[in-house]
Amino acid sequence: MSKADQLIMERRLRPIYDAIDAGNAKKAVQEADKVLKKHPVTTCAKVLKALALIRSDKLAEGFEIINTLDVPGAQFDDGTLQAFVHCFKEAGCPDRITTLYERAVAVAPTEQNLTHLFMAH
């Protein structure tokens, strides 16, 4: 993804992050749905929606989204990985964080992914 594409994506996701930071899970879900309506393959928006659902005590719905995305061989950007980590922390599943970073290192063994994997242990 080019730098311009990253900036555009950050701008699209900003309202979701703002709603989550403000503690307004319902608004975050609405904002995520808006982004997903126009860009249905935006993985980060899907994970942020799952985070908002988990924070609004809709664990089953949140994990339904997460379980469809968290598959071996999938490659995610750093923002998406961090959103996954927050989902797993909020849901009380720290073992899944380690598994997530093990898969990320298998796909892209970058220094950053290795550091995150080390910290997850």
Query: In the chain, what are the domain boundaries?
Result: 3-120
Distance CA 118, CA 121 (A): 6
| Residue 1: pLDDT band with limits 50, 70, 90 | low
- pLDDT tens-digit series, residues 64-106: 999 999 888 888 888 899 999 999 999 888 889 888 888 888 8
Checking if the pLDDT of 113 tops 80, the result is: no
Closest CA to 116 of 91, 79, 90, 70: 79
Give φ, ψ of 47 to 5 degrees: -70, -40
C-alpha closest to that of 84 among 57, 118, 45? 45
Per-residue model confidence as pLDDT tens digits over 15-47? 999 999 999 999 999 999 999 999 999 999 999
Q: What is the pTM of this model?
A: 0.88
Contact predicate 37/53, CB 8 Å: no
Dihedral angle of Cα 98, 99, 101, 104, to the nearest 10 degrees: 170
- What's the pLDDT at 117? 66
Residue type, 75: Q
Per-residue tokens: 120: 């997850």
> Tokens representing 101?
């970073």
Let me know if domain 3-120 sits in CATH 1.25.40.10: yes
Q: How far is CA 82 from the centre of its chain?
A: 6
